[in-house]
Every structure is written in C-alpha cells, then in structure tokens.
Chains A and B, each alone.
Chain A
Amino acid sequence: MDNLVPILAAAIAAGTPLVFAALGELVVEKAGVLNLGVEGMMLVGAIAGFATAATTGSLWLGALGGMAAGAAMAAIFAVLALNLMANQVASGLALTLFGVGLSAFVGKPYESVSLPKAGAVDLPLLSQIPFVGPVLFQQHFLVYASWLVFAGVSWFLYRSRAGLVLRAVGESPESAHAIGYPVIRIRWLAVLFGGALAGLGGAHLSEFYAPMWAEGMVAGRGWIALALVVFATWRPARVMMGAYLFGGVTIAQFFAQGAGVEITSQLLSALPYVVTIVVLVIISRNVDTIRLNSPVSLGRSYRPD
C-alpha cells in the first residue's frame, strides 16, 4: 500500500500532459478536423510556457503563455486546412515539423535556465484522506486544472447545445451548413481550443514535470495523445483513463526495475504503449459504439457554398 502511493501519484503527474493534449485533440476531431500537429504544438507550448515563466517568474502566466502559443500554432493550421483547404494530414505533419524546429530555435537561450520552484498544492481536507489524499490531492495546480478541463469538455460535448452543434459539424458539415451553422468558424474555434490545450500540456511538461527546457523534450507524447483519442473511440472518460494508464505503466516499470524485477528493460519500456493500446482496444471493441462515436467527416475538407 505504501509503495503504491508514490507510484499512483507519479502516474497522475505523468499522465497529465497527455490528458490536456488528448482532450484538446478530441474536441478538434469531434468537429471533423484531424490535426496531426499535436507534437509540434506541445513543443511550442512547452518553450513558450517555460520562457514566459522564466522571464515573469510566474508559473500561472507561463501556463497562459503556453496556451497562447499552442493556439497560435493551431491558427496556422486552421488557415491552411480550413480556409485554404489544404490536405489536413499534410498540414498537420508540417505543423509538427515546424514546431520541432521553431521550439529548438527559440529555446536556445533557455537551455540552462531554471524556474521558480513549483510546489505541490495540497487541497484542504481532501489531501488528508488516507491513501486517496496523497495520490490525488497533493499535486501541482495544473493537475487539478486538467480535471476541470475534463469535466468541462465532457459537459460541453454531451450536455450543451453548442457541443451538439460541434458534433453535428463533425458528422455532416453539409447538414450543419444547410441549417445555418457557420461550419468553418466552428471548426476554427475547435482547432484553436485544441491548440491551446496542446500548448498547456507542453507547458505542464516544461514547467512542472521536467521542469526544464530541452530541445525535443515532448519526446513523442503528442503522438501518444493522438493515438489515445482514436483508441479511446473519441470518448473523454476513456481518453483520461488511457492517459493515466500510460503514465501509470511508465512509472510502474521504473519501480519494477528499481526493485530488481527480472524483465529486460527494453520490454518494460515498451509496456506503456502496449498496455494502453491493448486495454483501450479491448474495452472499446464494440463496433457499433466505434461507429457511433467516430466523427464521420473526420479529416475531410469542407467548402461552404
């Protein structure tokens, strides 16, 4: 039991950047847009957040800076893919490549800078609960923020009128357009939202998780986030579960190694990917629910005329 607390607490922290980025991408894809630029947006968010926090001394402002930078990156994608109707897959890949280079370039002067220390924020009362308290309620503030985002996204998509419209745009932009909804504007907003969350995920990595800036530090987490959305069949709760599962297995395999478990470390390193995908595939294997949840117009350009 005592061993489990640090593992689970670390798993939550490790999964949080994925929660942000994947929930953002979920909303984007629900609007029928496939943005493969998550990795690039996370990287730019990471350096922007880090740089803002380092210059202003405020981690809050850093988080906002990360969001703004992620959204700005997403805006480039939106112009290309939504207004100019470039191929979404190609535009997204280009965005990732651009983000990798841009973040490395801008980040040069920040490679050895350190940030004000980000202590964990213990939630009053809740953090005193045995076992659950130290796991869930003694985290950095962005972890709590990620839960609010999760609640917000779930409510928005399935309980609000605006969410219904967004999903309609993802299912059939023609019909949504026919009844008078501004398809392109809605998709724009979704893409910006996704970019802001990817940027926030990146900022969480560079400000709280690592906390340092290093070139390429997102290290593939953007791609994991993209995969999570698909394997979780576009459902927020499963995305969240997948993110924590991935974080949990990542941490657990370190503990296993430290405890001297006789499994080769290469296999252990592959475990988070394998376990997450296998589990999500198994719980989401129902073909009808996949069909029900996957946005029909995903990745298709739409010209309103």
Chain B
Amino acid sequence: MNRRNSMRTAAAAAALAVAVAAGAQEPLKIGFVYVSPIGDAGWTYQHDLGRKEMEKALGAKVQTKVVDNVPEGADAERVIREFAASGNKVIFTTSFGYMNPTIKVATQFPAVTFEHATGYKTAKNVGIYNARFYEGRYLNGIIAGKMTKTNVAGYVAAFPIPEVVQGINAFEQGMRSVNPKAEVKVIWVNSWFDPGREREAANTLISQGADVLTHHTDSTAVVQAAEEKGKYAFGYHSDMSKYGPKAQLSATTHQWGAFYTRIANEVLAGTWKPVSVWGGLKDGMIKLGPINPAVPKDVVDLVQKAEKEIIAGTLHPFQGPIKDNAGKERVPAGKTMTDDEMQKMDFYVVGVQGSLPKN
C-alpha cells in the first residue's frame, strides 16, 4: 500500500465515522420557556426538575435549552420563535399566557413540535398538558381536616380562575370527608407573586382563627408565615418543607419529568400526536409531598387509602352530591363532575366561607 492510498483510506474512514456519528448521535434539541426565574421552589422550579429528569432518562439523545423569566406576551413570542428558528425540534411553553404566541409560532414552523402547559388551544403541531392539581389538594385536605383544632383552614389564593377554585373546593371536600365542621377561609391577593402580601394574608387568616394554611400563589411566604406562628401549612408546586420543617404537614407537588420524557421519546420515534393531557396521581404528574412525622399513623393510613382509591378511580374529589355554599345543588348524588364541568368551576362548595369573586 503506497502512502497516497493509505491517506485516502484514512480520510474515507474519518468521513464515514463523522457521518455515522451524525446519523446516530444527532441529539433531539428541546427548548423550554419559563415564566419566572427557576429559583428554589415553585411552578417553574418543578418544570425545570422535569427537564433534568428527562435529560437523565434520555442522556445523549436529547439536548435541552432554557430561557427563564420570559414575560407573557410579545417577549414570549420572540423567545419561542428564536427557539424554533435555531433548530429546536420540541418546544415546551410552560405558562398559560404563552398560549397565543405558541399557536402563532407553531403555524410558521410546522416541522417543530410544541407542547403548551395549562392552555386550551391545540393545533396540528401543538399539544397541551396540565395536571389534576385538585387530586393532591383533596389529600392535603384530609390531613388538614384531621389536624385542625379550630376547624378553620386558611387559603391564600391568587386569582379566581377555575384551576384555583378547583383546588380550594377539593381541599374543603377533603377536609369535610373527615371533619364535618371544617371550614375554609379564602383571601385573594390578586397576584401570582407578591411575598409581602401573601404573608400579610397568611397572618390575617391566622389571626382570624385558621390553624392550617395553604396557598395557590408562587412564593413560599405562606409556609414561612405558618412556621413562624407555630401553625400548620401545606406546600404547593414544590415540597416546601425546608421553609417550614415544623409547619409543612405535606404538599401537593407537580411532577413533569415522566411526561417530558414520554413526549421526547414519542417525537424521536415519530409517534407524537397533538393531544390534550390532563394527568393526575394515576399518571404520576401529581404527587403527595412527604408527610410530616407530626401526622399520626391513622391519618397517614387514611390519606394513603384515599390516594389509592383516586388512582383506582373509585374515589373522585367531586363526586355528588355536592352543594355550593349558597345551598344550591351542583352535582346530584351518584354523578361525578366531568372534566368539562370542572374546567368551568365557578362556585364554592359547602364549607368555604364568603362568595367567589366574579371574573
């Protein structure tokens, strides 16, 4: 073999190696758009945990990119378009307000797969996903109903939209299932994120007799306030026990990892379809947080039994008869609310104090 030949062979081999590597190893590029900083707990933090879980599960098959703290609106559209234009094949947009920008960019990039969280618009290349947060709330409610001494729970809520109302009602339903005297007081702070106001609302609820608190806002202020005043609380989005080791009895946590992994696998296999996913405990998208040792064994058993029943489909937080707090029957005995009805929920169940602000 002369020298020239050997060089040619080597070059061919190298070219082949590069081609093979490119064919087999080209990772699926995936973009994530987050509405707030990732931080250390909360909505966006959970999505980022999910992303990392997916990366761990799929290894070199995927390559992810993140832009956090993207305001809903024109900025979101720019970020999503930039992701699509720079070769990402899957884009997860994780806030309700990204719905229209996602749809808009999706029509311009038909070869890219979009998944939008908490919205209601799908398209040929846009799927939507959300979690049945209310199932976790119901389980938290059972613990709250057993642990409260004053029979009053306090609920710091952001905006009166169905998703939040579902949580309040499911919590009360859970409490009432073990404690017929249980009441929920709600304070609306009209903001997803204002630690100062959330804390004031929590303190107000405590001074009005609530000894168990929970919240549907984005900070950890409520759990911290409960810890300081020696009351109980439930975390939301994330396990917040490090902010209230004594206060947090349990939490409703969001788990997106398995879902993200599944979507990436489907896209890799070419089997992805634009569907609407609303997963709960059964699908592993919602999990009950760790239960505080302060909760007695019989209560833990009760909660775990309810959890199994919800997963098995024999228990539903909104099965009839359900009356609203003005006494009107909303779900007749023997019936269960449909997904559609739940997504339009606009009343408080019996036991929730006050009246629901109209949107």
Residues A219 and B194 in contact, CB atoms below 8 Å apart: yes
Residues A10 and B357 in contact, CB atoms below 8 Å apart: no
Q: Which of B81-89, B137-145, B202-210, B253-261 contacts A (4 or more CB under 8 A)?
A: B202-210
Closest residue of chain A to B199 (Cβ to Cβ) is: A210
- Contact partner of A258 among B154, B193, B219, B221, CB < 8 A? B154
CA distance A250 to B39 in the complex (A): 28
Residues A269 and B190 in contact, CB atoms below 8 Å apart: yes
Number of contact residues on A: which range applies? 20 to 34
Closest residue of chain A to B203 (Cβ to Cβ) is: A10
Of residues 36 through 71 on chain B, the ones whose CB sits less than 8 Å from some CB of chain A are 36-37, 39-41, 69
CB B218 to nearest CB in A, in angstroms, measures 9
**Known: A210-B196, A216-B193, A257-B187. Is A265-B357 also a contact (CB below 8 A)?**
yes
CA distance A14 to B154 in the complex (A): 20
| B75 contacts the other chain (CB 8 A) | no
Chain A positions 13 through 31: 1 when the CB is less than 8 Å from some CB of chain B, otherwise 0: 0100000000000000000
Residues A254 and B200 in contact, CB atoms below 8 Å apart: yes
- Contact partner of A265 among B154, B190, B205, CB < 8 A? B190
Residues of chain A lying within 8 A (CB to CB) of residue B154: 258
Residues B190 and A214 in contact, CB atoms below 8 Å apart: no
Closest residue of chain B to A214 (Cβ to Cβ) is: B195
Of residues 259 through 279 on chain A, the ones whose CB sits less than 8 Å from some CB of chain B are 259-262, 264-266, 268-269
CB B353 to nearest CB in A, in angstroms, measures 5
Closest residue of chain B to A113 (Cβ to Cβ) is: B40
Residues B196 and A219 in contact, CB atoms below 8 Å apart: yes
Pick from B154, B204, B228, B243 the residue with the most CB of A within 10 Å: B204
Residues of chain B lying within 8 A (CB to CB) of residue A261: 354
Residues B39 and A14 in contact, CB atoms below 8 Å apart: no
Residues A212 and B224 in contact, CB atoms below 8 Å apart: yes
Closest residue of chain B to A247 (Cβ to Cβ) is: B200
| B201 contacts the other chain (CB 8 A) | yes
Of residues 72 through 120 on chain A, the ones whose CB sits less than 8 Å from some CB of chain B are 104, 108, 111-112, 114, 117
Residues B188 and A209 in contact, CB atoms below 8 Å apart: no
Residues B200 and A250 in contact, CB atoms below 8 Å apart: yes
Residues of chain A lying within 8 A (CB to CB) of residue B264: none
Residues A111 and B37 in contact, CB atoms below 8 Å apart: yes
| A217 contacts the other chain (CB 8 A) | yes
Q: Tell me how many residues of B have a C-beta within 8 Å of chain A.
A: 40
Residues A265 and B160 in contact, CB atoms below 8 Å apart: yes
**Known: A212-B221, A217-B194, A219-B191. Is A260-B204 also a contact (CB below 8 A)?**
no
Closest residue of chain B to A218 (Cβ to Cβ) is: B196
Of residues 161 through 190 on chain B, the ones whose CB sits less than 8 Å from some CB of chain A are 185-190
CA distance A210 to B357 in the complex (A): 26
CB A32 to nearest CB in B, in angstroms, measures 32
- Contact partner of A212 among B188, B195, B354, CB < 8 A? B195
CB A303 to nearest CB in B, in angstroms, measures 39
Closest residue of chain B to A269 (Cβ to Cβ) is: B190
CA distance A261 to B228 in the complex (A): 27
Residues B243 and A210 in contact, CB atoms below 8 Å apart: no
Residues A210 and B37 in contact, CB atoms below 8 Å apart: no
Pick from A117, A219, A260 the residue with the most CB of B within 10 Å: A260
CB B347 to nearest CB in A, in angstroms, measures 15
CB A193 to nearest CB in B, in angstroms, measures 25
- Contact partner of B185 among A210, A215, A260, CB < 8 A? A260
| A142 contacts the other chain (CB 8 A) | no
Of residues 218 through 255 on chain A, the ones whose CB sits less than 8 Å from some CB of chain B are 219, 250-251, 254-255
| B197 contacts the other chain (CB 8 A) | yes
CA distance A269 to B354 in the complex (A): 16
| A205 contacts the other chain (CB 8 A) | yes
Q: 8 shortest A-B CB distances, which residue pairs?
A: A112-B40, A265-B188, A260-B354, A254-B204, A264-B357, A269-B190, A210-B195, A265-B357
30 contacts between A and B (CB under 8 A): A6-B207, A108-B37, A111-B37, A112-B41, A112-B242, A205-B196, A210-B195, A212-B220, A214-B193, A214-B219, A215-B36, A217-B194, A217-B195, A251-B200, A251-B204, A254-B187, A254-B201, A254-B204, A257-B186, A257-B354, A258-B187, A258-B208, A260-B185, A262-B354, A262-B355, A264-B358, A265-B160, A265-B187, A268-B188, A269-B188
Sample of 4 more A-B contacts, CB < 8 Å, known A6-B204, A112-B220: A10-B203, A217-B196, A262-B355, A266-B188
